[in-house]
Chain A
Amino acid sequence: MRKIFMILLTMMFILGACSQGSSGDNGNNGSSESNDGGGDTVKIGVVAPLTGPAALYGEQVEAGAKLAAKLINEEGGILGGKQIELVIEDDQSKPEVGLSKYKELIEVKNVDAITGGVNSSVSMATKDIAKDRILNIVTISKAPEIMADRDNYRFRLNSTNDMDGESFHKFISETLQPKTVAVIVENTDYGQAEIEALRRNWSSENDPEIVGVEFFELEDTDYTNPLTKLKSLNADALYVVGAAIEINSAVFSQAHQLGFNDTMKILSPGNINMEVVKLAGEGGEGVISADLYQNSIDNEMNKMFVEKFEQEYGYLPEKMELLGFESIWLTAKAMDQAGSANDYDKIAEILSSNNWESPRGEVVFENGQAQGEVLPLVIKNGEIVPYEQ
């Protein structure tokens, strides 16, 4: 029993020491908040899944964000010489971890803004803790509800399932015109939101009919059973909803191996990239998808972005990298124009009222949501090219 007491004492000291460390942090930040020119860095939290099922996307977002910070810092930083410091946190693709990372960033690490969110479930879990407290740039998460009951400080860069639906689902229905569609979809937050959007958008007579829906778990690796079942339905098109690169490519190559030869292959928008093309091999040929960015877009800023990115990482950026880049780039530019890193009303006002130059073209926010349409793309001879009939 005596030992317990000793242990408690020791632990009290350990904790005490830690809390002192953190209150020291508080002090520093307090002063930077009060006179705004005191600190020499602007801290931006980046919350992304660096482990767990969405890790690959998280790493891509991180790469983009780091590049943006580096470029800005090389140009002398913002707000008269302050450097950008990224505080990168791993949400493990889990909402509860994301929430505790947001708390930590706001309460312990005292960042000036938070960007991030790849999984919709994480962004759903974290939106309330940031509400009315801090600038919250949702980078990737696509579920429409994330922008519901928005405070003025929440912005989203990616398109939503609904926005994609309006252009891509319409494009399928009007241009590709399959009569029947079989759907294979991941049993996750993202898959559920996508299938809801699909059903909503194809509710009229002339739209394609969804003849079969098969869910798979993220742990699944063999999709031949659900694919065999869908194949027996003889649908005109196979619509694949999977966020992860390896899932999409595995589904396509397994579908190919099962003889889905004449079936139109469609990938839900936003998930096409060179990695899928590489992994899926023959199975990927002819896959139709859409995305809001493609690294061959012709404008000055994109040329600069692609060049710098390739220099830094040795490969070409795609959408995730772009959005990671944008999240830091736009935040920094808006802070600079507002003349403050934490006058969120002013920063939000500036973000909302300007047209921002970005590698993907011009970005405009409407109620916090970045506007823009997705362009249809197709995999042809191992490359992603704009879709032409």
Chain B
Amino acid sequence: MKDRILIFIAVVVLILLPLLFSNPYYINILTQFAIFAVFALSLNFIVGYIGEISFGHAAYFGLGAYFTALISQNFGTSYWISLIIAIMLTGLIGMFVGFLTLRLQGVYFAIITLAFAEIFRLIISNLPSITRGAMGLSVPSPNIPFTNVTFGDPLMTYYFVFGLMLLVILFIKYVLETPFGKGVIAIREGHLLASSIGVNVVKYKVITFTISTMIAALSGGLYGAFIGILTPDLLSVHYTTEALLMVVVGGIGYLLGPLYGAFIFTVIPEFLWMSPEVQLLVFGIILLLAVLFMPRGIAYILEQLKHKLENVRQPKAKLESNSEEMEG
């Protein structure tokens, strides 16, 4: 019960947060956070619930963005209808790739996903007549659905993207609670057990992978509209790295883990005036330290802290209520 109230408060804070800023630039950073959170959530679905590392996840992010832009520009459909079609198309590709690759595990899976991503990236970069290649494909700002407000409007865009992020979280939470989701978790905990209770391991993995690529495509479509220009770089290891950092540092396999990671890697760098190299160096060090000393991420640490707090809370209930008043 208490958790729900806190989540409610967290949501309210994130809704009110942008109102503090007079400057659209900072709201845009929050929007970027929400978009990358969706992308990281999608990767966590593979890393956290299938238990494999995909080194090519940016491919589906980039394909989502390119499909959306190309469909809306070539067929004249609205950006958001195109996005839905793009999500379907990317899902089909994801299903195909997942079907082929998910029989492999560990390094083999990591490398083959990377190879697929590089192929998609090279195809986009080598077909300039369709994709404009390295020159970049411009994406005119669409209107936010059912409104006359363009996607460039900082506040409305933030709310729209933030709302979608909440929906994605709820969707993942829902999926994990279905029998299918329980099966997926059973697979992560141990294949033998899972198959003995009648879970078709490969089929479950392929479905999970497909859903993950579709969510990645959604974040890519949003990012395309947000950033206004697509380059083949969107499919590169660079973006996979970012998402992977968010997932690992945030907490692999925790529903909200990617959110903490996304916050750390999108919002905080904006306030530290570091050159991109120094920033990447720091990220690399954080990742190494995270792997060495907190392999289960921030989410795990928070969970531990919460347990400790709860243990402390019982005898000191009075003090607790005082501090709560102060916060209020």
Task: List residues of A whose CB falls within 8 A of some B CB.
Answer: 1-5, 8-9, 11-12, 14-16, 18-19, 22-23, 26, 50-51, 90, 92, 94-96, 99-100, 103-104, 107-108, 120-121, 124-125, 128-129, 143, 187-189, 191-193, 215
Contact = CB atoms under 8 A, between A and B. Distances in A.
A3 B305 contact: yes
Interface stretch (B10-18, B90-98, B199-207): B10-18
B325 interface: no
B119 interface: no
19 contacts: A2-B309, A4-B256, A5-B6, A11-B263, A15-B17, A16-B20, A19-B23, A19-B26, A22-B22, A23-B22, A26-B22, A99-B229, A125-B136, A125-B138, A128-B138, A128-B228, A187-B126, A187-B134, A189-B134
Contacts of B25: 22, 103-104, 107-108
Contacts of B125: 187
A125 B6 contact: no
B13 to A, nearest CB: 5
Contacts of B275: 50-51, 90
Contacts of B28: 100, 103
A100 B21 CA distance: 18
A42 B89 CA distance: 50
A99 B228 contact: yes
B267 interface: yes
Nearest to A129: B228
Contacts of B263: 11
A228 B62 CA distance: 35
Contacts of A12: 13, 17, 20
Interface residues of B, number: 42
B276 interface: yes
B128 interface: yes
Contacts of B267: 11, 15
Contacts of B14: 8
Nearest to B5: A1
A381 B32 CA distance: 54
A299 to B, nearest CB: 36
Main secondary structure of the interface of B (DSSP, over half): helix
Interface in B68-124: none
A191 B133 CA distance: 11
B302 A3 contact: yes
B163 interface: no
B134 A121 contact: yes
Contacts of A18: 26, 271
Contacts, number: 118
A90 B276 contact: yes
**Chain B CB within 10 Å, residue with most, of A90, A124, A125:** A125
Given A5-B10, A120-B135, A193-B135, 13 more contacts: A4-B6, A4-B256, A14-B271, A19-B20, A19-B22, A22-B25, A96-B229, A103-B25, A107-B23, A121-B135, A121-B136, A188-B134, A189-B133
Contacts of A128: 138, 228
A9 B327 contact: yes
Contacts of B9: 5, 8
A2 to B, nearest CB: 6
A23 B24 CA distance: 11
Contact of B136 (A1, A50, A124): A124
Contacts of B277: 51
Contacts of B276: 51, 90, 92
B233 interface: yes
Contact of B133 (A3, A16, A26, A192): A192
Contact of B23 (A16, A23, A121): A23
Contacts of B317: none
B21 A19 contact: yes
A11 B14 CA distance: 10
Contact of A4 (B10, B24, B271): B10
Interface in B259-276: 263, 267, 271, 275-276
Contacts of B128: 192
A8 B227 CA distance: 26
B231 A94 contact: yes
A92 B233 CA distance: 12
A120 B23 CA distance: 29
A1 B2 contact: yes
A376 to B, nearest CB: 28
Nearest to B320: A2
B191 interface: no
Nearest to B6: A1
Contacts of A121: 134-136, 229, 231
A16 B23 CA distance: 11
Contacts of B26: 15, 18-19, 22
Contacts of A15: 17, 20-21, 26, 267
A124 B149 CA distance: 24
Contacts of A4: 6, 10, 256, 302
**Chain B CB within 10 Å, residue with most, of A99, A121, A215:** A121
A1 B256 CA distance: 11
A95 B302 contact: no
Q: Which 9 A-B pairs have the closest CB atoms?
A: A189-B135, A125-B229, A1-B6, A19-B21, A121-B136, A108-B25, A188-B134, A95-B229, A1-B3
